[in-house]
Structure 1
């Protein structure tokens, strides 16, 4: 492989990332219903992709499951007193009932997607835009620095049986980049120095989300979850790390206070 061919996907990746960042930044700044709708749409798209990967011939079912996923997140957030949280199970139950195969895989990931998109909206409303900015920057820094370090340095693979392209050099570079993001936020906000370690743990959780999605794709024999995003594949390919990072933060929030990462 020539040195130039290794970077031939960089331009579409950067262009797609710029569009996603612009849309995401506007929604995060607005918060409330606009951000909730964006989260619900992203979750619906990921569930649609997951269903299509499992049963590509069931196009109508994929759309129905996507609609159920969006509705579940909206109701979970808008229903009073958290009574709508049980709705997050709706796509998993429907998929487990109607899909012809890999029902457990679908049910687990559909629930994870629902929890993560619910969690993003919850964190934005409860703690302000700073926590979403920090979380996204940790994931983006992990991905960008891991991408360049892995392409440039190469070396031993992190988990070749599941993710053949992920290297230890890229993985470690992602941790360091995430720690740097945490360090900057710890200087500019009341979060404190503990945010450096937390950022690195969130980075690892995001990488595990990426690994989990890679495992599903290998199990189902597909390269990308879809081709919706040029240079990135599908929504599931792009947001798998955010999925893992957000689920980790939801777990952490059960035991400790969410860090104050707004100035």
Structure 2
């Protein structure tokens, strides 16, 4: 493989990442309705892509589902969290009523995605800026460390049947990078949790790769140059946010130092 072929997507990947980072940081810093609206729009885009991947025989559904999910998540900003679950489940149940194949696959992925996105907004509101920064940075560190270690070191594949490009060297480098991020933000215990969250983000990437392989496509869409679609870019963050949401709900996260 030539150097250009090996690193050919790096420039587009970096430029897209810079734009996403700038938009995300502004919304994250402001919090409130701006961050909530951004998460709602991204969630709607991911559901649009997911529906395109699975419901091939329903050409009008992707846009409809994306719009409904965006609206549902946005509405949750104005109402008590008690109503979150039924509002998030409603569009998924409507979609399932008209599907004849892959219903369980669609339900699990869509519900997990929506709970994760809602959990991310709750984390910002209740945990503050630093909590979300920790989560995002550990996912970014996992991705960057895995990308460069995989390119430069290579070696045995982590799960070749589902994700042919992911290597053990890249996977383990992601764990190390995530541990360092957790160590910086909250010490040893948050470092250990960060490794688990890092692994969840990698499993999110693998599960999305499996969806694409089943659908016979390379990317979930072409919305983001160098990254593919929103699911391609945020699959890891979704899985990580889902695990953090469950940890927060059942055992709680370590307190960050002042």
* 1:93 to 2:93 alignment: yes
Match of 1:18 in 2: 18
Aligned length: 258
SS of equivalent to 1:145: helix
Q: Is the 8 A contact 1:76 1:82 kept in 2?
A: no
2:226 to 215, 226, 231: 231
Tell me: CA distance 1:31–1:262, structure 2 relative to 1, closer, same or farther (3 Å): farther
Once residues 250 and 89 of structure 2 are traced to their aligned partners in structure 1, the CA distance between those partners, rounded to angstroms, is: 23
Correspondence 1:69-218 to 2 at 5 A: 69-186=69-186, 192-218=187-213
SS of equivalent to 2:60: helix
Q: Is the 8 A contact 2:162 2:206 kept in 1?
A: yes
Q: Is the 8 A contact 1:72 1:114 kept in 2?
A: no
SS of equivalent to 1:36: helix
Q: Is the 8 A contact 1:142 1:173 kept in 2?
A: yes
Match of 1:258 in 2: 253
Deviations 1:42-62 (A, max 9, x none): 110000001112234634211
Runs of 4+ with deviation above 6 angstroms: none
| TM-score, with structure 1 as normaliser | 0.93
SS of equivalent to 2:245: helix
Once residues 127 and 55 of structure 2 are traced to their aligned partners in structure 1, the CA distance between those partners, rounded to angstroms, is: 39
Once residues 94 and 4 of structure 2 are traced to their aligned partners in structure 1, the CA distance between those partners, rounded to angstroms, is: 46
Once residues 262 and 116 of structure 1 are traced to their aligned partners in structure 2, the CA distance between those partners, rounded to angstroms, is: 25
Structure 2: which 5+ residue stretches go unaligned?
Answer: none
Q: Is the 8 A contact 2:189 2:254 kept in 1?
A: no
Structure 1: which 5+ residue stretches go unaligned?
Answer: 187-191
Q: Is the 8 A contact 1:129 1:262 kept in 2?
A: no
SS of equivalent to 1:4: helix
The alignment yields a C-alpha RMSD, in angstroms, of 1.5
Q: Is the 8 A contact 2:53 2:211 kept in 1?
A: no
Deviations 1:174-196 (A, max 9, x none): 0001111112113xxxxx32111
Q: Is the 8 A contact 2:92 2:110 kept in 1?
A: yes
SS of equivalent to 2:228: coil
Once residues 222 and 104 of structure 1 are traced to their aligned partners in structure 2, the CA distance between those partners, rounded to angstroms, is: 20
Once residues 88 and 53 of structure 1 are traced to their aligned partners in structure 2, the CA distance between those partners, rounded to angstroms, is: 20
